[in-house]
Structure 1
């Protein structure tokens, strides 16, 4: 069986392609650096990390990008002996404007090096590149209408102004007529276009309904690449919008691929909602994940799910099995493992260094900064887990702090920190922003700071579905610290909600020094153990 999701935790907007017997999936990273994550597999069940292409300032600089801005919906393809990657860097989320800049890069090998990018346009987001049989290349993206009533927090249909098509080449850029080829269905919010060709038809798949619980993959086709396009007789290839009790929700935004053995597949993003801490509501702490499902061609030359209907399966019959969860331990002696990312910054030497003495974070701006923040974290990939670290830091005053955090963005996090309190010296404290946007007010769940002795201190957090608890020890047994905290806020649905929260929960290490002295904190180890 293939068990969905195939890429658990925050891996949204999966673009898939196949080269020989190897499949590749590229997913969005938004404000997390390096940009875009690519995984590969030969059996579609077992996936390994392959590359994070956007790893230098020439390709990506997100300093100042808002939460859930940055890299939206990459498209990965292979043609002319090269891998091609199309990506959007979104500089503004709120208000009428988006400021979404679209680029293309390429490489001979998936591991790179990836060439400096071609700038393409800024008319909208979610672009893709279609390589036609005659060798011509076509750039496809949705167009954003700033005159519509949409905002980043509550998108309206009027802002999604159809799918654009224009020829592109590396030497000339965009050339010829720019055509609007598809307006979508009444589900609206039409985005994420992908083209492919079969039996004389051009097929267009789009995502519709927003990236929340009304999400869907919509199909259309035309004999001419410029249209007109007719919509699938069922409108959608897949959607869970009318099945609120199905365990896999928010299905949409994916891409079609054919296997070397003739099997047919379609990726999709998905969410696995669970109940809130009071048993009410639903939230997706793991963010938008990547799933895959078998599809078949009908006699009418339309694509359908193998099992019929619009609902994808948790387990898909296959000749390979998905792996079981495994614990992870990191000592940082050989560098930063690819599980970890940081926020926005193309120059990581400003934020951290690794070596035999562990991971050293250089205290920069606050935990909520959009510019220069020393926060290194990995995705939460399980509904329950325990993470531990050992920290050695001597803060100079209360403006300097370092510790362990569960983090979504600047208004959704909990952090157990070592800092300094006047008259007490080195102490433990907890800082939280439990989804209180737009003021992002900092809360202090501890009744009073806990004094620390000199030397390293062990920090831990246990997350169990909708709740979490911090722990600490220093030469003795583990002790709980602070109250049980609400983990549900560190999710897509927390704070501003699903239409303004596009990433997922992370757990990791943070340091800040708002005095500007760049004081450091050293972490010997980090472990992540699924429960």
Structure 2
């Protein structure tokens, strides 16, 4: 029997929403403060997945300038009806403290690749929205409702309201249809209809190590909903030996031959605690019991690293290039920016053909205008490498290779200017928001020509190297670094993304000094 190996979407791919249209499957995942918004992958066999689209590519659809870390796009929901794809998403402006400024929107498209419409604003009462298309043509919108009042459960339950496609707005009464179980923190609703039942799937327990997914059902879409007496459907809580932790928040799909699968977020911790790759997407085969409840096919509530594959022909996709030479007219779907879209004012493939040019803007601590282009780290053992041509005049000019979790945690091997030494290499580490220069005497490098920069990541450690026109071999620079501070789990406040590797450029003098990057190599060991 063939199996699917988990995770199916490694690296930061959280909150999966799965959909089948005819014989093709799609998964939409959260992107938080990274632009473009939402990532969609496609598959024909549930085993092999290929990046398909990022629907939110324009600032008119998603403007996250100023959004706090781990804000932005939370838990998208992808659905399809009558020739149209529907994508529901939240743009979270701030989420610390009592309030959640979370705005819910809808965009549509005739094909998964687009063009995707301008957004329709829906509400701001909570996050994790989704849309259900009923058999009678009516459409129902759900989200968890946030109750900030003192003495209340802030995760106050799942609310339901009708969406009028003709009026392009929510209409009618808002009804709380489910308040969850004692696991609490009820969120992430999805409704499915089968055999006359409406099945409501919700995430519970928070998105850390107590995470879970619970199923309830009703004969009427607006309830009352009965909780599965053998809940939760899935969790890793109480099973610390499992290779997949944080199991929960997911969605359901069937195959053309009637097999059922559940995709869910998960984390693979290093040293028992640190998910440096972020929350990933895994899949489990599920089965329906005689009395109409859903169970994992493995007979437990714990996720497996491998699950039985469906009865579908294999459909592998071409292997992706490990090296980007920046010779194309546009950057591939691997690449992301922070909060705002890439445009010619700061990120150009045209200014110096065959190179990626970044114009220096704000610091790595900025939540507004960073010149940073990066891709997900998707393996615990990998190499990231680039070559940068840059002539810094002052210490305010910086450009180089960045390993980045968020504004509070990152490592930056870069070229900069020094009053006595000229062009030098420096390593900045920001750990839990504390800035540190790891080379108290920066290293003078060749004063002209490109400099190659390299990071070798081996699980919880990272070693940095450089090579310039004076050398033919890689030279190690700085100490061996711990990577675990770049994880969901290392901060005092929970956070939701994952480690990225990429290129950045800063200019605090206002001159917009440019750096040219000849290539970027990302290779998994």
Question: Shorter-chain TM-score category?
Answer: over 0.9
Matched residue SS, 1:130 = strand
Report Cα offsets for 1:4-45 as digits up to 9, x if no partner: 000000000000010000000000000000000000001000
Correspondences of 1:440-459 after superposition (within 5 Å): 440-453=433-446, 454-459=448-453
Provide the C-alpha distance between the structure 1 equivalents of 2:149 and 2:430, rounded to a whole number of angstroms.
Answer: 33
1:314 positional shift: 0.7
Match of 2:384 in 1: 387
- Whether 1:177 and 2:173 are equivalent positions in the alignment is yes
Q: Is the 8 A contact 1:35 1:52 kept in 2?
A: yes
Alignment pair present for 1:484 and 2:480: yes
Looking at structure 2, the residues matched to 310 and 350 of structure 1 have their Cα atoms a distance apart, in angstroms, of: 51
Q: What is aligned with 2:258?
A: 262
Q: Deviations over 1:277-298 (max 9, x none)?
A: xxxx521111000111110000
| Correspondent of 1:295 among 277, 280, 286 | 286
Partner residue of 1:369? 366
Q: Give the one of 427, 430, 438 matched to 1:430.
A: 427
| Partner deviation per Cα, 1:447-474 (whole Å, 9 max, x = no partner) | 3100011111000000111010110011
2:522 paired residue among 486, 505, 528 = 528
Match of 1:26 among 9, 17, 28: 28
1:29-108 matches, cutoff 5 A: 29-108=31-110
Deviation at 1:332, TM superposition (A): 1.1
Q: Distance in 1 between matches of 2:450 and 2:398?
A: 14
Give me the whole-angstrom Cα distance separating, in 2, the residues matched to 1:52 and 1:148.
39
User: Is 1:401 matched with 2:392?
Assistant: no
Matches of 1:317 and 1:347, distance apart in 2:
41
User: Contact 2:50/2:317 (CA < 8 Å) preserved in 1?
Assistant: no
Query: How far does residue 348 in structure 1 lie from its aligned partner after superposition?
Result: 2.5
> Is residue 412–residue 495 contact of structure 1 (8 Å, CA) maintained in 2?
no
SS of residue matched to 2:100: coil
Q: Does 1:224 align with 2:211?
A: no
Q: Which residue of 2 aligns with 1:353?
A: 348
Aligned match of 2:503: 509
2:237 is the counterpart of 1:241:
yes
- The CA distance in 2 between the partners of 1:138 and 1:258, in whole Å, is 21
CA drift at 1:331: 0.8
Tell me, yes or no, if the aligned pair for 2:262 and 2:284 is still in contact at 8 Å: yes
Query: Which ranges in structure 1 are unaligned for 5 or more consecutive residues?
Result: 150-156, 276-280
Q: Please tell me whether the aligned partners of residues 326 and 530 of structure 1 are also in contact (alpha carbons under 8 angstroms).
A: no
Going from structure 1 to structure 2, the CA distance change for 1:211 and 1:148 (only over 3 Å counts) comes to farther
1:341 to 311, 336, 353: 336
1:378 aligns with 2:369: no
Instruction: Give 1:221 deviation, angstroms.
Output: 0.5
RMSD: 1.5
Describe the shift of the 1:306–1:161 C-alpha distance in structure 2 as closer, same or farther (beyond 3 A). Answer: same
Aligned equivalents of 1:283 and 1:459: distance in 2? 26
| Cross-structure match for 1:469 | 463
Task: Find the counterpart in structure 2 of residue 315 from structure 1.
Answer: 306
2:208 is aligned, of 201, 208, 212, to: 212
Inter-partner Cα distance in structure 1 for 2:489 and 2:270: 11
Please tell me whether the aligned partners of residues 56 and 347 of structure 1 are also in contact (alpha carbons under 8 angstroms): no
TM-score, scaled to structure 2: 0.95
Please report how far the alpha carbon of residue 177 of structure 1 lies from its aligned counterpart in structure 2 after TM superposition: 1.2
Where 2:229 maps in the other structure, the secondary structure is strand
CA–CA separation in structure 2 for the residues paired with 1:66 and 1:384: 29
Could you tell me how far 1:406 is from its partner in structure 2?
0.7
Shift of 1:148: 4.6
Secondary structure of the residue aligned to 1:348 is coil
| Count of aligned residue pairs for this structure pair | 513
